[in-house]
Structures are given as structure tokens and as C-alpha cells.
Amino acid sequence: MTNVDAGSGDRLALAVLTQYRMATTEQMHRILGPEVRIEQTRRRLAKLRVEGLVDRITLPQAGRLRVWFSTQYGVQVASEWPELRGRRPPKTVSDPTAARLRVAHALVVTETGLAFVEDARRRGEVCLPLDWLPEVYHPLGSREAVIPDALLFYRHGSEGHKGSMLRAFVEVDRATMGPERLAAKLTTYAGLHRYTPAPLGRRQLAEPLPQEEWRRHYPLFPRLLFVLAGTGPAGIETRIGALRAAATTLALSGFLREVPVLAAPLTDLLQHGPSAPVWRPVQDPDQRASWMR
């Protein structure tokens, strides 16, 4: 038996690692308690490891950086909690070899999520750690699916005042695929935008026409944000150019009229914050915009 429910900090730590897949000690400290000494976060993670709920790998090439993840037992425990219940079970990385193979991308995705969480804290807005949901499954028929790197929930507006709930699909690109493959994701999301499941059996005349699948989950289709990392300024421009070229195709015109699609370098998000006008609309990347508008 585990007493993880005894402390809200322990519970949040396990929930975050289950949802985010992986995080470093420093990232976990920024999520759980940046106002206290980091030794407190280290002790918390060590305690959860003794209880068999989390484990870690050490990356010697990164100054013996410790990276934490939930064990299968930890995922089983956390998945029963209301805040995680009902979601598609995450892909566990409890095998250290598998963790090492996924760690580079997972940590960049975690850092991107932290940029939004910390920006909301500074602005007095609401984006809690569990409002960043990596790898949310969106079916496209029986054999296909769209799985963004993360789904973001963000309440824009000061606490105590009526605000607006913003949602975004976030794709974190580390330049591990060619620009054309990155740009092809626009077509994939356009397919999700128009995907309507085929009705089961023969539709009766009185039945309403089937709607797009996404409307079952979102009042508006989430905006699409590309976060670009792993390359210098020239590489960023190449990738934004590929997105712009794809955005000019007639097949995407309807999708882009309805859904904001923007791109920004991760370095700009970390330096200025995601709420700053660092985002570039894919149809007009010479402009700079806020992702919230």
C-alpha cells in the first residue's frame, strides 16, 4: 500500500509525471514548489521512488542529469484519481532503455508546457500543471488518429474576472524531420477538423445529421501552435517557410479561415513568455501576434 494520498504535493508529483511522461528534477521543482528549496523536491521524488511509484534515469552526457518518470505501478495508482480518470492510458516509459530513447523529445515537450504554466502564474491567469496534456488521442476512423504533442487548456483573464477559456493543439518540432513532413501536419489537422464518423446502420429521417467528431469534445476547434526547437535562426525560417507554402494550398483555405495556426521558436517562448507577440501566423509569417487572439 502507498500513502501517496496523504500529501497533496506527492499526489501532484505523481500525477504530473504520469501525464507529462518525463521531467527533470529542476522541472519538477518549478512545477511543484519554486518558492521552496529544491532539496524538498528531491526528497519528495526520492520518497516516491522508495514507494515504487516513480523511477529515474541518469544522463551522463548531460552532467549526470536525473530524469524522472512514473512506473507502471505509479501509472496504475494515478489513473484511478478523478483528475486523470477517463483519459486514454499513457504510454509508460518504465523501462530505462525506452526512457533514454524518448527522453530528448519528452523533456522539450515538458519545457514547453512549463513555459505556459509559468507565464500564467506571472500574469495571474489560470494554466495549472495538469492543464498541459501530452499525447491526447483523436481518432480518424478505425485505423488512423491525430495525436498532438500536447493539448493546452488556458484561462485568459485576471482571476475574479470573467475570462475566456483557450485551447490549443501544440506540436513541438525539434528538427528531427524534414520541413515538408512538418508542413504536412497542417493537412492532418485539417482532416481532423472535417472528420465526421460514419453513422452506424441506416440513418432514420428524423435523426440529426452527424457532426464532426471534434465537436463532441470542444466548443471550438483548438488553435494550432507549432513550437520550433533544435535548430538555429536559418532552420527556423526554413521550417516556417514550409508551413507558409503549405498554407497557400486551396485544400487548406477553409481550415485556416476558421482555425488560427501560428509558429514560434522555443527560445522566444522561454525568453519572453508565450503570451508575448512572438507567434507568426503561418499565412503571413512576417507578422507577429499573440496566440491568445
Any idea which of 176-185, 206-215, 263-272, 274-283 has the lowest mean pLDDT?
206-215
Is the alpha carbon torsion for 231, 233, 236, 242 positive or negative?
A: negative
The DSSP symbol for 153 reads E
**Residue 240: closest CA among 186, 159, 168:** 186
In this prediction, residue 159 has a pLDDT band, given cuts at 50, 70 and 90, of low
Radius of gyration of the chain (CA): 20
- Round to whole Å and give the CA distance between 160 and 158: 6
96-123 helix and 25-32 helix, angle to the nearest 10 degrees: 30
Q: Residue 18, CB half-sphere, CA atoms under 13 Å: how many?
A: 26
Any idea which of 150-164, 185-199, 239-253 has the lowest mean pLDDT?
150-164
Strands 144-146 vs 138-140: parallel, antiparallel or unpaired: antiparallel
pLDDT at 230 over 80: yes
Strands 223-228 vs 261-265: parallel, antiparallel or unpaired: parallel
Instruction: Classify domain 4-94 at the CATH class level.
Output: mainly alpha
Long-range Cβ contact pairs of 47-50 (< 8 A, separation 24 or more):
47/10, 48/4, 48/10, 48/13, 48/14, 48/74
Strands 223-228 vs 65-70: parallel, antiparallel or unpaired: unpaired
**Residue 106: closest CA among 15, 222, 17, 199:** 17
Q: How many CB atoms lie within 10 A of CB 72?
A: 13
- Round to whole Å and give the CA distance between 59 and 62: 6
pLDDT attached to residue 197: 87
Cα-based torsion angle of the residue sequence 46, 48, 52, 53 in order, rounded to the nearest 10 degrees: -130
Whole-prediction pTM: 0.91
pLDDT attached to residue 1: 39
Asked if 70 and 18 count as a contact pair (C-beta separation under 8 A), the reply is yes
- At 56-96, the pLDDT tens digits run 999 877 678 999 999 989 999 998 899 887 666 556 666 67
Domain boundaries, the chain: 4-94, 123-197+210-281
